[in-house]
Amino acid sequence: MKTSIFSLSALSLLILLWTGCASPAPEAEKEQVVNLYSHRHYESDQKLYDTFTQQTGIKVNVVEASADEVITRLEAEGANSPADLIITADVGRLTRAKDLGLLQAFASAVADEIINPNLSDPDKMWYPITVRARVIAYSKERVKPETITSYEDLADPLWAKKVLARSSSNVYNQSLLASVVAHLGEGDAEKWVQGMVANFAREPKGNDRDQVKDIAAGVGDLALVNTYYMGLLANSEDPAERAAFEKVGIIFPNQQDRGTHINVSGVGLTKHAPNKENATKLLEFLLSPASQTALVQENYEYPVNSTVTDLGPFLMGLGEFVRDEYPLYKFGSYMDTATDISNRAGWK
Ligand code: FE2
């Protein structure tokens, strides 16, 4: 009996050694990876990737790049790109990547079930992971919020020398303007921009947070800003940023008509993704309630998974609002018009 067990074990060992030498390592033993080019550089994103690796054994390699580098790098590398996914903010950039032929379709029944089609690509080449609203920040000291209810009001001569803006080359402004072109037509959109430019308190400069700080400093009274920047200021470790936030209120524009402009940050599947299945797993992981809760509570963005209802104190404090439900991807076709309007109207 003992002999036969020994023989069996010895035979198994021989077979193992032989197969080990004769063939490459089985597929399952290869290191599983997914490679991201990301324009988001939040600690909370890295924590999520670590959790994904713990749960699946798939290592997440992140190359951080500026938003435009994400696309130019992918373009330059072509079929040799190691990237599986790009993560970037704004539908303007996601549609640009798609139009340049840099993406391919995901196959994810999970994403199709969770995501509102108005927020994603009809060809499934990118999906949103978070939503943000572009709101009007105002000086609590100098503006009565009921006097401004729409984006169009920013062009009212009442606000001469009171409107602060960042550059029109910023994609958040381009997408907002594209939405105005889509809703009002090119002529009215251009009049709006002309009126707003005439109201500028200074040359456009800085980022969204700088506009809020300049309202607090008295440089101007009104500015366009994405909601999560208000959350970041409100919860900043820098007391000066928290103090700036305290002086500024938030208006959700166009609540009586088309709704407030929203946008997304999203994930695109690259055309030559070497690890397509792992990329799809990561997308689905990011859409899970646990990941969505982390994104919402740590970055002050809105979830795309509607089962997530605990938005955390900051967003809960802002309350509910009417969103512009126009399909986001359609704004892509108005981006060139938006740029032309900005140039003609002298919005630098
Ligand atoms: Fe941003």
What is the 35 CA–ligand 1 centroid distance (Å)? 22
Residue 24 is predicted with a pLDDT of 47
As a whole number of angstroms, the distance between CA 248 and CA 230 comes to 9
Residue 5 is predicted with a pLDDT of 42
As a whole number of angstroms, the distance between CA 124 and CA 255 comes to 30
What is the 207 CA–ligand 1 centroid distance (Å)? 9
What is the 10 CA–ligand 1 centroid distance (Å)? 62
What is the 225 CA–ligand 1 centroid distance (Å)? 9
What is the 61 CA–ligand 1 centroid distance (Å)? 22
Residue 43 is predicted with a pLDDT of 80
pLDDT digits (tens, 9 = 90+) for 246-286: 999 999 999 999 999 999 999 999 999 999 999 999 999 99
Residues 247-257 as b or e (16 or more Cβ within 10 Å = b): bbbbbbbbeee
Residue 19 is predicted with a pLDDT of 43
Query: DSSP characters for 22-63?
Result: HSPPPGGGSPPEEEEEES---HHHHHHHHHHHHHH--EEEEE
What is the 27 CA–ligand 1 centroid distance (Å)? 40
What is the 294 CA–ligand 1 centroid distance (Å)? 17
For residue 162, the tally of other CB atoms under 10 A from its CB is: 21
Query: DSSP characters for 59-103?
Result: EEEEEE--HHHHHHHHHHHGGG---SEEEEESHHHHHHHHHTT-B
What is the 337 CA–ligand 1 centroid distance (Å)? 23
Q: Please list the ranges in the chain whose pLDDT falls under 70.
A: 1-29
What is the 122 CA–ligand 1 centroid distance (Å)? 24
As a whole number of angstroms, the distance between CA 96 and CA 247 comes to 37
What is the 341 CA–ligand 1 centroid distance (Å)? 23
What is the 348 CA–ligand 1 centroid distance (Å)? 19
What is the 89 CA–ligand 1 centroid distance (Å)? 7
Residue 27 is predicted with a pLDDT of 53
What is the 266 CA–ligand 1 centroid distance (Å)? 12
C-alpha distances in Å from residue 191, one per residue of 41, 87, 163, 170:
37, 34, 16, 20
What is the 245 CA–ligand 1 centroid distance (Å)? 17
* E-assigned strand segments in the chain: 33-38, 59-64, 85-89, 126-139, 163-164, 222-226, 248-251, 262-269, 302-303
DSSP class of residue 200?
A: B
Instruction: Give the contacts of 229 (CB within 8 A, at least 6 positions apart).
Output: 207, 208, 209, 212
**Which residue has tokens 């959790």?**
51
